[in-house]
Amino acid sequence: MCAPYAVNLGVTLTVLSESCDDPAALVVPSSPVGAHTDLDAVRAFAAQCDVVTFDHEHVPQHILRALVDDGVRVHPGPDALANAQDKLVMRARLTQLGIPCPPWAAVDSIDQVEQFATEHGWPVVLKTPRGGYDGKGVLLAKSVAEASDWVDRLSGGEQLLIEQAVPFRRELAVLVARSPSGQAAVWPVVHTVQTDGICTEVIAPAADLDEELAGRLTRDALTIAAELGVTGVMAVEVFQIDDADGNSAYVVNELAMRPHNSGHWTMDGSVTSQFEQHLRAVLDLPLGDTRARSRWTVMGNVLGGDYPELYPTYRHLMARDPGLKIHMYGKDVRPGRKIGHVNVYGDDLLALRERAQHATDYLQGVITE
């Protein structure tokens, strides 16, 4: 989704794609095919680039480090990216920086799970440190029996992240961009509405958010970006909680180091889209204005399902709601997979949420008019 912004800036974007029908390969003319886990393929690809960046976090560390050793400019770099690749690395680093996190530990036996639960209470949340997305790799365990399957599956040396199940009010996210020369910019804090572990809606800015809390969260996001040496866009996902005195507080859930779903609203709702900003940041250009264009923007995710032909749905949706912005990704449709999103913006939050919901329901075939 960086492609149109690269065209606008006259910057040549080249994508290393898994296959020639990858969504990115369909929109970027120069897309050599190769695996991000194949050192030779990544090296050959990087040799043609002035700067290398990512649209996911799964490029192995040894490949990232080989590129850096070859003298390639890699943004974000391997040390920063490790915190988005491995949730145990991230927890240890954020705790060291004094950033609020849920109570957590690394475990590799059921005794350790039980000990953690005795201290912090059931249920607990178990997470595979690497490779999870959209709630896959996360287990809410209410008993030893429920946790034991995951612990039994660990092979030698592997650990799980265990966390207290946080009784959160809602999930928030803050998106920040940072360039190699250290300039940083941050967008307003948003509310990410989750359904069954998948983000279905983003409200920008988060409604009724205490200004002091938003300020603290924003400062923490900037601290994380600076201390971890993040370059490019990073999303900090947090749980809003009540502290022991009943005041609003937050704990960080996780970090994403790339343009992120919680920032898709910026494509229509902010002066600078996260995709343009990511390009500016990794190219070390001055960053763009992150202010919202209107009072509210609502983003609705379109999830794959038993799904009608896409193109015929456009006629009805566009006629019904000329202000609706539709962004589809050209991905294969699989149940629950994020295959596109819609944005609407304006002054009436309730009406915007209804419009976004209508559009996503209609695109997903949940409703027919």
Binding residues for ATP: 87, 127, 163-166, 171, 253-254
Q: How far apart are CA 333 and CA 331, in angstroms?
A: 6
Among 76, 77, 102, 205, binds ligand ADP (CB under 6 A): 102
Among 8, 194, 195, 247, binds ligand ADP (CB under 6 A): 194
Q: Is residue 122 at the binding interface for ligand ADP, with CB under 6 A as the rule?
A: no
Among 121, 197, 286, 323, binds ligand ADP (CB under 6 A): 197
Q: Is residue 162 at the binding interface for ligand ADP, with CB under 6 A as the rule?
A: no
Q: Write out the DSSP string of 37-92.
A: T-HHHHHHHHTT-SEE--SSS-S-HHHHHHHHHTT-EESS-HHHHHHHH-HHHHHH
Q: Is residue 346 at the binding interface for ligand ADP, with CB under 6 A as the rule?
A: no
Peptide bond before residue 123 is cis, with ω within 30 degrees of 0: yes
Among 41, 88, 89, 138, binds ligand ADP (CB under 6 A): 138
Q: Where are the alpha helices (DSSP H) in 153-287?
A: 211-228, 266-269, 274-282
Q: What three-state secondary structure class fits 143?
A: coil
In Å, the largest CA–CA distance within the chain is 60
Q: How far apart are CA 367 and CA 369, in angstroms?
A: 6
Selected range binding ligand ADP among 13-21, 39-47, 131-139, 281-289, rule: CB under 6 A: 131-139
Angular region, 154: left φ>0, alpha ψ -120 to 50, beta rest: beta
Q: Is residue 193 at the binding interface for ligand ADP, with CB under 6 A as the rule?
A: no
Among 108, 210, 227, 254, binds ligand ADP (CB under 6 A): 254
Residues within window 266-285 making contact with ligand ADP, judged by CB under 6 A? none
CB of 313 to ligand ADP, least distance (A): 28
Cα 344 versus chain centre, distance: 20
Q: Is residue 263 at the binding interface for ligand ADP, with CB under 6 A as the rule?
A: no
Q: What is the DSSP letter of 261?
A: G
Selected range binding ligand ADP among 8-16, 159-167, 182-190, 346-354, rule: CB under 6 A: 159-167
And the tokens for 115? Answer: 């000990």
Q: Which is nearer to ligand ADP, 84 or 204 (CB)?
A: 84
Q: Is residue 304 at the binding interface for ligand ADP, with CB under 6 A as the rule?
A: no
Q: Is residue 129 at the binding interface for ligand ADP, with CB under 6 A as the rule?
A: no
Q: Is residue 134 at the binding interface for ligand ADP, with CB under 6 A as the rule?
A: yes
Q: Is residue 135 at the binding interface for ligand ADP, with CB under 6 A as the rule?
A: yes
Among 86, 163, 268, 276, binds ligand ADP (CB under 6 A): 163
Q: How far apart are CA 282 and CA 226, in angstroms?
A: 15
Apex 354 CA angle, 358 and 330, nearest 5: 40
Binding site for ligand ADP (CB under 6 A): 102, 125, 127, 132-138, 163, 165-166, 171, 194, 197, 253-254
